[in-house]
Amino acid sequence: MSDRKSITPAHLYRNNDKLIGIGNAFWNTSYENGVAGVVGDLRDGVFTMADGHEFVNFTVCSYLDLDTHPKVIDGAVESLRRFGVLDHCIPRTRVQTSVLLELEESLGELFGAMVISALSTAAASTGLLPLIASGHLGNGTRPLMVFDKNAHVSMGNAKPACADETEVVTSKHHDLGFLEDMCRTYERVCYVVDGSDSLGGYAPVKELAVLQEKYNLLVFYDDSHSLSAYGERGIGYVRSHAPILDERTITVATLTKGFGAGGTAILLDGYSEDTRRLIERFAGPLGYSQKMNAAAVGAAMASAEIHRTEELDRLQAKLRANISLFDSLVTTEQAEATFPIRVVPMTDETVVEAAKKVFAAGFYTSPVFFPIVARGTAGLRVMLRAGQTEDQIRRLAAALIQAGALPAGAGPRPVAK
């Protein structure tokens, strides 16, 4: 027998054994039933697979369909030609072209904030959260880091790095009572939470503002799912509703979903240029040579211009109309809310088969299950978009009801005993 030591994991902040051990079985079932790993060519909003099967993707985050907008695509191409390089591969703290500076200036005007670009929200959160934990992004005090239980994995993955700098705890979803108890106990607290959830819903920004005023609470939001789809000029839910937009509120939001481009915007208020340089130098991936390339920047610049026009208002209105139409046809817990995500409830045992039936009818809806959602709350995720037609939504609803969804106005689904 070997006398070498084996390792017992601490599992203080993540547990891959549990994550993969439970979740991978659902992924394998989804893959085997043809509702994961789907490949097709996209043209005019319709995917065509190699075997000829056509379907409309109802689980895509481009809520305004700006990712296929001719101006956004042209902006990417023109940017490459203008700057003559895809990505000058060196940290921007040493040498850079003007491409990122122009984008950040444009987005700064659009959102009314200091903007720092990043390759992704995962890169932004991975870099920023440890700086907050150490007190270097904030008021100098190491805060207790309170991660919302439902905080997206792009933020949750920063827990171990934060725990090397300060104390880390996880709260129940939007548990304001627990958060206030922590604020009474600790000199400083930072709450890490989605401003808009990937499964629908918004953070209680007004209630959090009360704690910010009372206890100097710092709130770190990821508002990726509401950017563009919500608010005047598409500034998102947090910046539309948060009463406090100063150094106590930090927001990251992808430019890939509703914005239709690529990369991420970090939105800061009340911070100095010295803070910008600190972030660019020490916020992990933000200091690497990988950054938004010229094509992504050009697409984002073009999208930003659309956000300044009445076209954005028309797209948001069309999105709202499509949301209302869907809600009039299918029962979900999210019905009548403004965000464009709906989860059509199914059981763990039926969700993949239901997705398969809906896909056969010509529509892709992704089956979600633990650990994407809590155990026993599986469902089909539907994302409404401005470009979807009334006919497509009505036919999708019919397919969902045929697969086991409740029609709008039906009573609650019986609870399994």
Residuewise pLDDT in 10s, the chain (417 residues): 568 999 999 988 888 888 888 888 888 999 999 999 999 999 989 999 999 999 999 999 999 999 999 999 999 999 999 999 998 899 999 999 899 999 999 999 999 999 999 999 999 999 999 999 999 998 899 999 999 999 999 999 999 999 999 999 999 999 999 999 999 999 999 999 999 988 878 999 999 999 999 999 999 999 999 999 999 999 999 999 999 999 999 999 999 999 999 999 999 999 999 999 999 999 999 999 889 999 999 999 999 999 999 999 999 999 999 999 999 999 999 998 899 999 999 988 899 999 999 999 999 999 988 777 777 788 999 999 999 999 999 999 999 999 998 998 776 664 433
Q: In the prediction, which pLDDT does 88 show?
A: 87
3-state SS, residue 251 = strand
> What tokens does 227 get?
């950017």
* pLDDT reported for residue 413: 60
Q: What are phi and psi of 355, to 5 degrees?
A: -60, -40
B/e letters for 55-88, b = 16+ CB within 10 Å, e = fewer, are: bbbbbebbbbbbbebeebbebbebbbeebeeebb
Predicted pLDDT at 411: 64
pLDDT of 373 reads: 75
- Of 138, 159, 139, 132, the residue nearest 148 (C-alpha): 159
Estimate the crossing angle of helix 390-402 against helix 310-327, to 10 degrees: 30
Residue 73 φ/ψ region, left for φ over 0, alpha for ψ in the -120 to 50 degree band, beta for the rest: alpha
CA–CA gap between residue 302 and residue 73 (Å, rounded): 8
CB burial of residue 347 (10 Å; 0-12, 13-18, 19+): middle
Helix (H, G, I), strand (E, B) or coil at 410: coil
> Hey, what domains does the chain have and what are their CATH numbers?
32-61+310-402 (3.90.1150.10), 70-307 (3.40.640.10)
Amino acid at site 5: K
Task: Give the per-residue pLDDT at 1.
Answer: 55
Beta-strand relationship, 341-345 and 366-368? unpaired
pLDDT, residue 415, reads 44
